[in-house]
Amino acid sequence: MKLPFHEYADLFPILTGEDFSALVDDIKENGLLEPIWLFEGKILDGRNRYLACEEAKVEPRFVEYEGKDALGFVVSVNIKRRHLTLEQRAMLTLAVRGILEAEAKVRQIAGLKHGDKDAPRGGLKTATGSSAEQASKMVGIGEKTAWRLWSVSDKAPELLGAIKAGDLSIATAADLAQVDDKGLRGKLATKVVAEGLTTKQTEYVTEQIEIAKNQDGQKGVNAILKSPLHVAETTPPLWPSEAHKSPWKKPKAKDYKGQSSLVDTALKMLYNAVVYLASDKDGEVVTNQFWTKWITLTEKILKMMKAAKEA
Query: Is 190 within 8 Å of 182 (Cβ atoms)?
Result: no
Res 239: pLDDT: 46
Res 281: pLDDT: 47
**Helix axes of 289-310 and 199-226: crossing angle, nearest 10 degrees:** 60
Q: What does the pLDDT average to over 202-211?
A: 80
Res 268: pLDDT: 62
DSSP run (H or E) holding 81: helix 70-81
Find the range with the poorest average confidence among 59-63, 73-77, 110-114: 110-114
Q: What is the pTM of this model?
A: 0.59
- 67-103 burial code (b ≥16 CB/10 A, e <16): eeebbebbbebbbeeeebeebbbbbbbbbbbebbbee
115 Cα distance to chain centroid: 39
The larger pLDDT score, comparing residue 215 to residue 61, is at: 61
Find the range with the poorest average confidence among 32-41, 61-70, 283-292, 302-311: 283-292
Q: What does the pLDDT average to over 177-184?
A: 86
* Separation of alpha carbons 257 and 272, rounded Å: 15
**9-81 CATH:** 3.90.1530.30
Res 31: pLDDT: 92
Q: What does the pLDDT average to over 91-96?
A: 88
Query: Is 143 within 8 Å of 101 (Cβ atoms)?
Result: no
* Separation of alpha carbons 264 and 100, rounded Å: 60
User: What residues contact residue 185 under an 8 Å CB cut-off, 6+ apart?
Assistant: 156, 159, 176, 177, 179
Res 251: pLDDT: 43
